[in-house]
Amino acid sequence: MEIRFEMTEDILIAYLFGELDHHSAGEIRTSLDKTMDTFRAKHLILDFGKVTFMDSAGIGVVMGRYNRVHEKGGRIFVSGAGNYIYRILEMAGVFTITELCKSPKEGIQILEKARESGGEV
């Protein structure tokens, strides 16, 4: 599993590559938390476009990051999930606490529109 980060204002975008399973979840969790803290990210976009496999440990990574983002008053998005990853996340109820977007760009646009309209971001 590999992870790359991009920061836009207070939005951290995490691009995930490979298998998000019990072998890699701890390292990914630590890397996400450290990067969010370092850059003081309020919002998080997790891009699953290049994730080839995910198990329950991957669901735990998403759920745990939701808690951290929620504490900061932020929003969390899942983007790029293919059919396989989407079904796993949907069955686990992840989309009841996260927002689904087609791409990180779309997630950023949603947040920018909320800012412009004076809505809660």
The CA-to-CA distance between both ends of the chain, in Å, stands at: 30
- Mean pLDDT, the chain, rounded, equals 95
- DSSP letter assigned to residue 119: -
Question: Can you say whether the dihedral through the CA atoms of 35, 54, 67, 121 is positive or negative?
Answer: positive
pLDDT digits (tens, 9 = 90+) for 25-75: 999 999 999 999 999 999 999 999 999 999 999 999 999 999 999 999 999
Q: Which helix (H) or strand (E) holds 20?
A: strand 11-20
Q: What is the pTM of this model?
A: 0.94
Radius of gyration of the chain (CA): 13
**Across 97-109, average pLDDT:** 97
CB atoms within 10 A of CB 65: 21
Q: Flag whether pLDDT at 120 surpasses 90.
A: no
Q: Flag whether pLDDT at 121 surpasses 80.
A: no
Query: Under 8 Å CB-to-CB from 26, ≥6 apart: which residues?
Result: none
Confidence of residue 118 (pLDDT cuts 50, 70, 90): confident
